[in-house]
Amino acid sequence: MSQVYNFNAGPAVLPADVMQQAQAEFVHYGALGFGIMEASHRAPEFEAIIQAAEANLRALMGIPEEYAVLFLQGGASLQFGMVPMNLLPAGGSADYADTGTWSSKAIKEAKLFGNVNVVCSSKATNYDHIPAFGTWKLDPQAAYLHVTSNNTIFGTQYASFPTPPAGVPMIADMSSDILSRPLNVRDFAMIYAGAQKNLGPSGVTLVIMRKELAARCPANVTTMLKYSTHIDENSLYNTPPTFGIYILKLVTEWVQRQGGVAGIAARNEAKAKLLYDAIDGSGGFYRGPAKLDSRSRMNLCFTLPKAELDKPFLQGAVAAGLVGLKGHRSVGGMRASLYNAMPLAGVEALVSYMRQFRSCHG
């Protein structure tokens, strides 16, 4: 089969090595005599997998002992609700930065539990940037500050993170850029991410949180939605998404082989530069709506000179083995998601196609 590069925003491309290893182990895992998907979550083979997945993440991201690493379900969307349910006390207020569709959805859920103070918003300019930290209206009494590190739909990303007022924990939705660049976990009280972009398949949600935060949860929250339940039981309170966790473990091993997060980040930087250079060097044919200082290295959005060209661009791309380039329906244009597993060769093929398309239609 000829090479196809998958630029979808998520679920997304996984490393070829991981797919092959999973295929090789699919029917018979180790000495089990059957597949890991068929194994009990209490089986020693699976316990070894979940422990290795956690240990690998701790090593790759430098996650300190006082943080729990949880493998949950329900996607990042459930975290939009679980965060305020557990951490926003009755009568309290939480700070939220509004930098895109996913931030707005997180805000909507938090409003069900308490007051929300929107510290900044780029909505008026169709979320084309991360507002400068100096303009944020931070509340020193906030229960927490919530940010979305990478805005998957609009193609913007925090180049650095704000410093919340003393005593205010910062919580980040890192669904679309987790494990893509180095960061100091201690700058955050909590990080969460759906796995289906940089970590593995859909169905697993990674939560990294300071263990003591979980004590804030009101008593009347249902057992499954309390962080403390999953911390106390090491994500094995009930049946976790075992196969997804197995793939996530393989992905963490692959990241280690790429030189860890630093190695991955250097490759991500090079891939994004290649595509942004092609956009910026196209004489205005391709345009990136995101402001330069807010450009995402994960989701690169661009438009063509006229909307009528979108269809032929996408059709030609598919014929060239480049799929998943259609922008989100709320934005239009194109979006190339260059997650960790997208090889440089995929970006080179895209840039070459873009050059050729422009020479035919420019």
Cα end-to-end distance, the chain, whole Å: 32
Q: Which is nearer to ligand PMP, 196 or 242 (by Cβ)?
A: 196
Is 139 one of the catalytic residues? no
Are 250 and 49 in contact, with CB atoms under 8 Å apart? no
CB of 41 to ligand PMP, least distance (A): 21
- The site for ligand PMP (CB under 6 A) is made up of 10, 75-77, 102, 148, 152, 173, 175-176, 194
Q: Which is nearer to ligand PMP, 54 or 173 (by Cβ)?
A: 173
Coil, strand or helix at 38 = helix
Q: Which tokens hold the place of 221?
A: 């929250």
CB of 59 to ligand PMP, least distance (A): 25
| Long-range contacts of 62-65, Cβ-Cβ distance < 8 Å, separation of 24 or more | 62/184, 62/185, 63/185, 63/208, 64/185, 64/186
Q: What is the DSSP letter of 305?
A: S
CB of 271 to ligand PMP, least distance (A): 19
Is 326 one of the catalytic residues? no
Q: How far apart are CA 347 and CA 65, in angstroms?
A: 38
Task: Identify which of 162, 167, 134 has the alpha carbon closest to the alpha carbon of residue 148.
Answer: 162
CB of 38 to ligand PMP, least distance (A): 25
Task: Identify which of 126, 141, 241, 132 has the alpha carbon closest to the alpha carbon of residue 195.
Answer: 241
* Residue nearest ligand PMP, CB atom distance: 75
CB of 56 to ligand PMP, least distance (A): 21
Instruction: Give DSSP secondary structure letters for 241-269.
Output: -HHHHHHHHHHHHHHHHTTHHHHHHHHHH
Q: Which is nearer to ligand PMP, 153 or 250 (by Cβ)?
A: 153
Residue 126 dihedral angles phi and psi, to the nearest 5° = 50, 45
CB of 80 to ligand PMP, least distance (A): 7
Q: Which is nearer to ligand PMP, 95 or 109 (by Cβ)?
A: 109
Q: Which of 102, 128, 226, 271 is catalytic?
A: 102
Q: How far apart are CA 145 and CA 322, in angstroms?
A: 38
Q: Which is nearer to ligand PMP, 206 or 265 (by Cβ)?
A: 206
Is 95 one of the catalytic residues? no
Are 7 and 342 in contact, with CB atoms under 8 Å apart? yes
Q: Which of 98, 128, 173, 177 is catalytic?
A: 173
Q: Which is nearer to ligand PMP, 102 or 158 (by Cβ)?
A: 102
Cα–Cα distances in angstroms (integers) from residue 137 to residues 62, 104, 117, 272, in the given order: 31, 17, 8, 32
In 220-249, which positions are buried (b, 16+ CB within 10 angstroms) versus exposed (e)? eeeeebbbbbbbeebbeeeebbbbbbbbbb
Write out the catalytic residue numbers. 102, 173, 197
